[in-house]
Amino acid sequence: MSIPTSQLETWTNPGADDSATTTYNRVKNGLESSESVLEEKEKSYEVYLQGSYKNSTNIYADSDVDLVVQLNSTYRRDLSRLSSTQKSKYKDSISKASYGWEDFHADVVETLKDKYGSNSVTEMDLAVVLETDALPLTADIVVCQQYRRYRKFKNLSEQEYDEGIVFWNLSTDKRLISYPKIHYENGAEKNDSTYGRYRETVRLFKNARSYLVSQGAISEDLASSFYIECLLYNAPSTKYKHDLQNRYTEIVNWLVEAQLKSFKCQNGIQDLFGNTTEWTTGDARKFIQKLVDLWNNWYDY
């Protein structure tokens, strides 16, 4: 028995975002205040949302707010796509930085502790977690440095690159690179190409995942929100039908037959499966099959 349209409609609904907006604004204002260590050092940086609240794919189960604090005064780069001549021009034009990610990370943590108290700030491997009664939601803060994937360099006035972020795992010292701004832009374009159906579809499948977890059908870590969004990004826009039941079956049936190894993240740059992420095609296949089972056996769940 198929999933009723009324249930699918419920799953497309967005979660409340007032608390997320308040949390973001308070953290941003605190970091950018005149008393901030960052302001005292006169470094160029920016604070912005990423994740479900930024991408309008948040559901009621979402709680933590994902923020990026990005250093722009200095940056890391990938020159591998430049010719030898362009690489030489780049190196002749750029001087070595004296203030980098480690310095910036320490200054962000110090600013947050000064503002909210040391007990409210926890340095995790991949993010700084800020949890305090002064904020309605917990903030997961990625402290990073601008990353440039160069496509062209002639001089400082004539250069082209994809802007991403880079940061390091505090325990393993592994470097991590992502492209949150491009992720957002591509998601917005996908939403336009599907007549506004992409973002609500991501919410639908995120809620389906939460339902499967609640029923003990899958583990909570089988498919993260980010992975689900990237998975659906690869589905052709023509599969996003107006009728929700048709949309669900068209997308899931397409995923069943798809060559997952060729999938890209929503940024369109990094592979979804491989060195970039820890998700495997095997886990993705398990998740897709559970979506099939959920449709075929709705009343057994």
pLDDT digits (tens, 9 = 90+) for 226-249: 999 999 999 999 999 999 999 999
pLDDT tens digits, residue range 2-44?
999 999 999 999 987 889 999 999 999 999 998 888 888 888 9
For residues 126-148, average pLDDT: 97
Q: Using DSSP, state whether 231 is helix, strand or coil.
A: helix
Q: For domain 15-178, give the fold.
A: Beta Polymerase; domain 2 (3.30.460)
The answer to whether the beta carbons of residues 213 and 220 sit under 8 Å apart is yes
Round to whole Å and give the CA distance between 40 and 150. 31
Q: What pLDDT, in 10s, does the model give residues 68-122?
A: 999 999 999 999 999 999 999 999 998 888 899 999 999 999 999 999 999 999 9
pTM for the predicted model, two decimal places = 0.94
d(CA 138, CA 36): 20
- Mean pLDDT, the chain, integer: 95
pLDDT at position 276: 77
Angle, in degrees to the nearest 10, between helices 225-233 and 180-193: 50
Quick one: angle between helices 198-214 and 180-193, nearest 10? 110
Question: Which region among 156-165, 211-220, 292-301 has the lowest average model confidence (pLDDT)?
Answer: 292-301
The per-residue pLDDT for 180 is 97
pLDDT computed for residue 42 by the predictor: 84
* Residue ranges of the chain that CATH labels 3.30.460: 15-178
What residue ranges in the chain does DSSP mark as E strands? Answer: 45-50, 65-78, 121-123, 128-130, 139-155, 158-168, 175-178
Rounded CA-CA distance 44/74 in Å is 8
